[in-house]
Amino acid sequence: MTAFDTGDDIIPRAGVIGWPVDHSRSPKLHGFWLQQHGLTGRYDRLPVPPENLAAFMAALPREPGFRGVNVTIPHKVAVLPYLAQIDPVARRIGAVNTIVVQPDGSLFGSNTDAFGFFESLRAAAGENENMAGWQVAAAPAVVLGAGGAARAIIVALLDAGVSELRLVNRSFDKAESLAAEFGPAITALDWEERAAALGGAGLLVNTTSLGMTGQPALDLPLDDLPRAALVSDIVYTPLETDLLARARARGNPAVDGLGMLLHQGRPGFQAWFGVAPAVTPQLRAAVLA
């Protein structure tokens, strides 16, 4: 059996490649939208071990019905050499999470994580009356972490016009090298400065794994954070992290990490299946179930 395992019918198909890929929520996300829109289509988990990536990418354009794939760990960077075209945002992030098979069989790669993050903030701002008038670019943003997820969030915030981004990371050198790469809006700060970095901020984003189920807690006193600041955690297991709970308890608006996951799926679904899908409370419930 190959990763494709197509069966006989030629119907529009997409899926998520990763290794392991069992825990991906993307099949639930895209499966919900397929059903909601009454579309004939499939979206599957596609387990691809690293040693099979080259063969998978070579076969993808020739698989009957395959419109493209989402890409997750550990392939987000490794797929780059197989793509004929890479969207400029994905180039800046340095990773691809969405691949579309073009009519000529070539592969187009993009990264929808920055879009997903920004859309999840925008949706939260629209739904939360405490956030009337909140604008991402109006005050400094604090980003914790300097890994792959941080890169997507940095690009999203710079593109949204944020002019001061305080980047705090345990390994200072990684924050420094992102500051050098992304320019003068970024200030690299030492992990010990994380509480003081919150002064005057309008947004705090945790992109580290701290606070995730099975990981250490995020030790970050929020006293210096203005109450109007939006607090966002890209961790979504648990959905309500300790950071978000503490933020809400002191009156800050808060956005959980599920929104980013749901919104990042929208462009891929539209490209593969031809319908622009929406993020709704029903979708959230279905993906969490």
Angstrom CA distances, 221 to 58, 141, 196, 218, 229, stand at 49, 16, 9, 9, 14
Binding status of residue 207 toward ligand ATR by CB under 6 A: yes
Q: Which of 112, 208, 232, 241 binds ligand ATR (CB under 6 A)?
A: 208
Strand, coil or helix: what is 286? helix
Ranges within 222-241 binding ligand ATR (CB under 6 A):
none
* Catalytic one of 42, 75, 76, 166: 76
Q: How far is the CB of 234 from ligand ATR (least distance, A)?
A: 8
Q: Report residue 90 as tokens.
A: 């994905």
Angle between helices 172-182 and 148-159 (to 10 degrees): 40
How many residues at the interface with ligand ATR, by CB under 6 A? 15
Binding status of residue 61 toward ligand ATR by CB under 6 A: no
Residues 6+ apart with CB under 8 A from 112: 97, 98, 264, 265, 266, 267, 268
Q: Is 76 a catalytic residue?
A: yes
Q: Which stretch binds ligand ATR (CB under 6 A): 32-40, 125-133, 204-212, 236-244?
A: 204-212
Q: Which of 2, 106, 163, 171 binds ligand ATR (CB under 6 A)?
A: 171
Q: How far is the CB of 289 from ligand ATR (least distance, A)?
A: 24
Residue 123 in contact with residue 110, Cβ under 8 Å? no
Q: Which of 209, 228, 238, 286 binds ligand ATR (CB under 6 A)?
A: 209
Sign of the Cα torsion 159, 175, 96, 120 reads: negative
- The residues annotated with a catalytic role in the active site are 76
